[in-house]
Chain A
Amino acid sequence: MSVSVRSYLRSFLAALVACALTAGAAAQDAPAPQYGGELVVAITADPPGWDPSVSTSQEIARVVYHNVFEGLVRFDAAGEIVPALAESWSLSDDRLELTFQLREGVVFHDGTPLQASDVVAKFERATDPDSGHTNPQYYDAIESVVGDEEAGTVTFRLSRPSQGLLYNLARPDSIIYPAGSAETQRTNPVGTGPFRFVEYLEGSEVRLEAFADYHQDGVPYLDAVTFRIIGDPNTRFAALQAGDVDLIGTALPPEQFLQAQQDPNLKGTEGTATTEITLAMNNARAPFDDLRVRQAITHAIDKDAIVDGAMFGLGAVIGTHMSPAEPYYVDLTDTYPYDPERARELLEEAGYGDGLSFAFELPEPYNIERRSGQVIAQQLAEVGIDVELSVVEWGTWIQRIFLGADFDMTIIGHSEPRDIDVYANPDYYYQYDNPRVAELLAEAEAATTEAEANAAFQEIARIIAEDAVNVWVFSPPYLVAARTDVHGFWTDQPTPAIDVTGVYRAD
């Protein structure tokens, strides 16, 4: 059986399951889809342009991913990789040639048809280090890209087998636009998605309208979507309550989610996300260079209490750098369970029986992290660790803590899917140096089956959990609040996106 058939079967099965699931849900509450109407979605900040291959800002991806731009493949609402501009793909027996069959009759919003040369131009840019393309490491297995206009195919020649490439081609960075338009996409995005960009009023809103020539029949349902930029969380929610906004699908505080569930005009949904709230320690710096201290800190933290205290009980406790939404998730919460007695013993052994003190810095823009940090500081105090709490402005956090690794302890949500690879990088701000992780990562990348790759990822997860590199506290859920007549939005967040293709309004 060739890989292409298998991956196709897999996505077909996944689609079947998804259909069955949504059908089940639909039978209970959602009315049949209706055409027409508009939607207003609240977002938190002005995105730096609209091209996700120029900036990794998640604000860009939320607006344009699959709404305006598509890649060869994409993630669906369940996080499965499904066909987008490519209708199928196949991998050669030596796993060094990946060939995509492009869908026929696809047109860009400017009316030009999609050609193999557009795809080739895109990946030549992505693999050119001087082009300023985001995340070039996603594409570093690509040696060359060849298009065949007649056959409508694009072939990637690879320098080594790559298990992760298809996944990376589904990311927002891998979207396709007309060859030669890279310069203008930042201000005037032209893609193939179900909605076309109409107008952007800086600081206020961006308006998208349904694209009449969209290549998939039947969608979108809505005539237009407006993403309104509202920075203050209380104002965002008030706008939803007042009916000025129809959906909040980003940065919804747990208390507002609970409030939405109580409100007869609103509903709230809770799903999975790929974020891990991570209590990060500087492994190269004393006292965190001592495994016993890191173990003690892990034992000192009552994660359930944090989820209750900072999140009103919403969130899943985790034990490694993985959220339950990841396909290779493994439950390691019992590696070093909450045990303040054991924490004190370990601190005593490490020579900190009389107490220990260090700086704990909280990132200013992130409410959940700030709240969690305050609970953690109290829990650490109970085992004799005295932290100096301070709040750090975001630009400073990135420059000094994240890039400079000049810190003792901090806390942050790592939201990118499949980001366990950072533990292979000894320069990453945790300053964790273990060559075995890099070996396992290479094994995962060269794996012939997904199961084999997943086994390697799980081994990494186990190693870092046993080394207590950080404390992985919990995975916050993906929370959405919407007016009751809004249906068909993503209730999970496998990748940062607010895909409104399947959204419709019906009472």
Chain B
Amino acid sequence: MLASLLVFVALSSVPGDPAQLILGLNAAPDALAALRSQLGLDVPAPQRYLAWLAGALRGDLGESINYGRPVSALIIDRLAVSVPLTLGAGLIACLIALPLGVTAALRRGTWADPLVTVAAQVGAAVPSFWLGLLFILFFAVQLGWMPAGGFVPWERDFVGALRSLALPMLALGLGQAAVMTRMTRSAMIDALGQDYVRTARAKGLEPGTVVFGHALRNALVTLVTILGLSLSNVFIGSIVIEQVFALPGLGRLALTAIGTRDFPLIQGEIVLYASVIILLGFLVDVSYGLLDPRIRID
């Protein structure tokens, strides 16, 4: 709610009038006034905000100016792209980062650790949109294996939809994997240096049991926190990737909304983004209790 208020105040102070953007640069004042009242823009800002808030509390986010459809319906449509994209990219990041990070931590002092560290450093420095563009040029233009952007709806062609999401997931996932690898590595190094690991080793436990049963288990709390942050990052980062791959996701919707000063749609998107991030934080908090009984709160 605080986010929505901040955004509303910010939007009200930024120049730009949706009616003007619709009717064009040479629009007549009469026509503009008529359209403004039709869009409800002739009401003072505080009153407009309260009306919006009252609607939002009842689950009604209003109607988009640009698309002429309910904001909630537009957002739900776009979830079909953004949710699989975020989860897929997050999964790719985990699958790469966990083994690499653990390996690097265990192989400290050998060639593997610096190799992984450098690779992660490079990966984190490469912007995802650039990586995405390289993927398009290589996999779509050169090899012709994948579509060069665009999206096929799930209900029309399931495999086609998956294919159109594969490259963006990879572009988004790889960048995040780099960041996660570094964090996994340092979390594991921390855990491996703990007294209980030394004790476990001293009492003659198998190295596998020590690493996975003791060190990793204890590092998991940190790792889940990282995962939560990563998913938030990927969710936000998809704004750029959706633009590069011409995907009809929430990010493109937000950019269009801002460009056309589609106030109800921007507000709706902000509420959604804020809710997703709060929800991820909540899930992370809940998972602490499951992973580590000591944190359980009664």
Chain A interfacial positions (CB closer than 8 Å to B): 45-46, 48-49, 54-57, 129-137, 186-187, 201-205, 228-232, 234-235, 238-239, 241-244, 394-396, 398-400, 402-404, 422
Kindly list 16 other residue pairs between chains A and B, CB separation below 8 angstroms, not including A202-B248, A228-B246, A242-B147: A48-B66, A56-B24, A129-B30, A130-B34, A132-B23, A137-B28, A187-B69, A201-B153, A202-B77, A203-B247, A203-B252, A232-B246, A238-B137, A239-B140, A239-B246, A395-B15
Decide: A238 and B15 in contact? CB cutoff 8 A.
Answer: no
Q: List 10 A-B contacts (CB under 8 A).
A: A46-B67, A55-B22, A56-B23, A203-B78, A203-B248, A203-B256, A232-B246, A239-B149, A242-B136, A398-B25
Decide: A238 and B28 in contact? CB cutoff 8 A.
Answer: no
Decide: B136 and A395 in contact? CB cutoff 8 A.
Answer: no
Decide: B27 and A134 in contact? CB cutoff 8 A.
Answer: yes
Name the A residues within 8 Å of B30 (CB-CB): 129-130, 136
Name the A residues within 8 Å of B148 (CB-CB): 235, 238-239, 241-242, 244
Chain B interfacial positions (CB closer than 8 Å to A): 14-17, 20-28, 30-31, 34-35, 38, 65-69, 74, 77-78, 133, 136-137, 140-141, 144, 147-151, 153, 243-249, 252-253, 255-256, 259-261
Q: Which residue of B has the minimal Cβ distance to A231?
A: B243
Name the A residues within 8 Å of B21 (CB-CB): 48, 395, 398
Q: State how many angstroms separate the Cβ of B157 from the closest Cβ of chain A.
A: 13
Name the B residues within 8 Å of A400 (CB-CB): 15
Q: Which residue of A has the minimal Cβ distance to B15?
A: A399
Cα(A132)–Cα(B38), bound, Å: 9
Decide: B246 and A403 in contact? CB cutoff 8 A.
Answer: no
Cα(A204)–Cα(B28), bound, Å: 32
Point out the residue from A55, A132, A398 that lies within 8 Å of B16, measured CB to CB.
A398
Decide: B151 and A136 in contact? CB cutoff 8 A.
Answer: no
Cα(A239)–Cα(B140), bound, Å: 8
Cα(A57)–Cα(B249), bound, Å: 23
Name the B residues within 8 Å of A54 (CB-CB): 22
Name the A residues within 8 Å of B38 (CB-CB): 132
Cα(A493)–Cα(B161), bound, Å: 36
Assuming the A-B contacts A228-B150, A402-B25, are A45 and B256 also in contact, with contact meaning beta carbons closer than 8 angstroms in the complex?
yes
Q: What's the count of A-B pairs with C-beta under 8 Å? A: 150
Q: State how many angstroms separate the Cβ of B163 from the closest Cβ of chain A.
A: 12
Q: State how many angstroms separate the Cβ of A411 from the closest Cβ of chain B.
A: 15
Cα(A364)–Cα(B283), bound, Å: 40
Point out the residue from B26, B147, B245, B246 that lies within 8 Å of A135, measured CB to CB.
B26
* 6 A-B pairs with least C-beta separation: A395-B16, A56-B24, A203-B248, A399-B15, A242-B148, A230-B246
Assuming the A-B contacts A135-B24, A238-B141, A400-B15, are A201 and B31 also in contact, with contact meaning beta carbons closer than 8 angstroms in the complex?
no
Decide: B151 and A204 in contact? CB cutoff 8 A.
Answer: yes
Cα(A399)–Cα(B19), bound, Å: 11
Point out the residue from B136, B243, B255 that lies within 8 Å of A238, measured CB to CB.
B136
Q: State how many angstroms separate the Cβ of A141 from the closest Cβ of chain B.
A: 15
Q: State how many angstroms separate the Cβ of B179 from the closest Cβ of chain A.
A: 24
Name the A residues within 8 Å of B137 (CB-CB): 238
Name the B residues within 8 Å of A395 (CB-CB): 14-16, 21, 259, 261
Cα(A399)–Cα(B14), bound, Å: 9
Decide: B243 and A399 in contact? CB cutoff 8 A.
Answer: no
Cα(A231)–Cα(B259), bound, Å: 12
Decide: A241 and B248 in contact? CB cutoff 8 A.
Answer: no
Decide: B248 and A399 in contact? CB cutoff 8 A.
Answer: no
Q: Which residue of A has the minimal Cβ distance to B78?
A: A203
Point out the residue from B246, B248, B259, B260 that lies within 8 Å of A235, measured CB to CB.
B246
Name the A residues within 8 Å of B246 (CB-CB): 204, 228-232, 235, 239
Q: State how many angstroms separate the Cβ of B63 from the closest Cβ of chain A.
A: 12
Cα(A352)–Cα(B244), bound, Å: 47
Cα(A49)–Cα(B63), bound, Å: 14
Q: Which residue of B has the minimal Cβ distance to A187?
A: B68
Name the A residues within 8 Å of B68 (CB-CB): 49, 186-187
Point out the residue from A231, A241, A244 that lies within 8 Å of B147, measured CB to CB.
A244
Cα(A187)–Cα(B74), bound, Å: 14
Cα(A204)–Cα(B67), bound, Å: 13
Q: Which residue of A has the minimal Cβ distance to B77?
A: A202
Assuming the A-B contacts A235-B246, A395-B15, are A136 and B31 also in contact, with contact meaning beta carbons closer than 8 angstroms in the complex?
yes
Name the B residues within 8 Å of A45 (CB-CB): 256, 259
Decide: A231 and B35 in contact? CB cutoff 8 A.
Answer: no
Q: State how many angstroms separate the Cβ of A234 from the closest Cβ of chain B.
A: 6
Assuming the A-B contacts A231-B243, A232-B246, are A396 and B31 also in contact, with contact meaning beta carbons closer than 8 angstroms in the complex?
no
Q: State how many angstroms separate the Cβ of B248 from the closest Cβ of chain A.
A: 3
Name the B residues within 8 Å of A130 (CB-CB): 30, 34
Name the A residues within 8 Å of B153 (CB-CB): 201, 204
